[in-house]
Amino acid sequence: MRPVILAAIAMALSLIVSCTSGEGWVKVEGNKFIDPQGKELVFRGLCFSDPVKLVRDGQWNERYFAEAAAWGANVVRFAVHPTNLNAMGWEETFQAMDQGIAWAKQHGMYVIMDWHTIGNLKEEKYTSPMYRTTREETFKFWRTVARRYKDEPAVALYELFNEPTVTAEGVGSCTWTEWKELQEQIIDTVRTYNPRAVCLCAGFNWAYDLTPVASEPIARPNVAYVSHPYPMKREQPWEGQWEKDFGYVADTYPVICTEIGFCLPDEPGAHIPVMSTEVYGQHITQYFEKKGISFTVWCFDTSWAPTLISDWDFTPTTQGRFFKDYLQNKQP
């Protein structure tokens, strides 16, 4: 039996034991994620496009999750878009996600629940209509998640807001202090129903910039920080700038880069800031290994670029070939 399959079976059994024991939650200790057995856990996995989109495409099924596990993922990210959630209906969407969580557990993977919107939650201004939400709806979403999955350790990470930004046209203003306080309010709401939830907090510049954390960290325990260091956020050489912009945080707190990825300039969907080559993949993964940073790659879909697959037979794209090989080789 292939080592990747054996590893997936072992993790699935571990998740089943932890979820039935009432214990076994992933937690934060210092700058590390700790698994239910008390060992350091580095998340390496894949971003799913959106549960509602995948339901509509006929691809929200066990086959999809099994393929993610076969690629070597130990975590998958559910990118829940407010407009899609409302279009399909909250209960219908959450029922689909219940099934997805069961499939993830079956195949030995954790789940990141991601409120996938882009813009300024303080002023409720967004970069596109598909990301429109309100503070009231955002708090409702996280109350719903925390209540529904308070006894489900497989839903390990709660990503509070996908990509905050105040530099896009028309999104208004928000200071880091204001954004910090708003995130803390969301965390307090989550912890009312699920005190064990690990909450993920992103910085500005489309979740790239974590420099304010040095002077004003989130004043709550059991949190980790998010960055999305796509290749064109900085010019080469990258490492020194990554260290200054977000990597230094990993010396004190856990960091998970919930979106990375690249595509060649002539590939479908190529756009700023994702255009690059395998050189980016080599540099970013080596940097993450050096710093102990977790990550999920965008996107395990055929149309949301940069894509990891070119068809629903899961034929890898350029970045898909790179990250599939990398993830499979990182399996224990």
Q: Assign a CATH topology to domain 3-330.
A: TIM Barrel (3.20.20)
Q: What gap in Å lies between CA 107 and CA 62, rounded to an integer? A: 9
pLDDT of amino acid 183: 98
- Cα 200 to Cα 151, 226, 282, 303, 314: the distances in Å are 19, 6, 25, 26, 29
Q: What gap in Å lies between CA 121 and CA 310, rounded to an integer? A: 34
- For residue 44, give the 3-state DSSP assignment: strand
pLDDT of amino acid 11: 52
List the end-to-end C-alpha distance of the chain, in Å, as a whole number: 14
CA count, 13 A, side-chain hemisphere, 203: 23
pLDDT of amino acid 4: 46
Domain residue ranges in the chain: 3-330
Q: What gap in Å lies between CA 39 and CA 212, rounded to an integer? A: 30
Containing H/E element for 40?
strand 40-41
Q: What gap in Å lies between CA 78 and CA 59, rounded to an integer? A: 14
Residues with Cβ within 8 Å of 25's Cβ and at least 6 positions away in sequence, in order, are 18, 36, 153, 156, 196
Residue 12 in contact with residue 4, Cβ under 8 Å?
Answer: no
Using CB atoms within 10 Å of the CB of residue 294, give its burial: 0 to 12 exposed, 13 to 18 middle, 19+ buried: buried
pLDDT of amino acid 15: 54
Q: What gap in Å lies between CA 148 and CA 194, rounded to an integer? A: 9
Q: What is the rounded radius of gyration, in angstroms, for the C-alpha atoms of the chain?
A: 18
Whole-model pTM?
0.93
Per-position pLDDT tens, the chain of length 332: 444 444 444 455 555 444 433 358 999 999 999 999 999 999 999 999 999 999 999 999 999 999 999 999 999 999 999 999 999 999 999 999 999 999 999 999 999 999 999 999 999 999 999 999 999 999 999 999 999 999 999 999 999 999 999 999 999 999 999 999 999 999 999 999 999 999 999 999 999 999 999 999 999 999 999 999 999 999 999 999 999 999 999 999 999 999 999 999 999 999 999 999 999 999 999 999 999 999 999 999 999 999 999 999 999 999 999 999 999 998 76
pLDDT of amino acid 17: 42
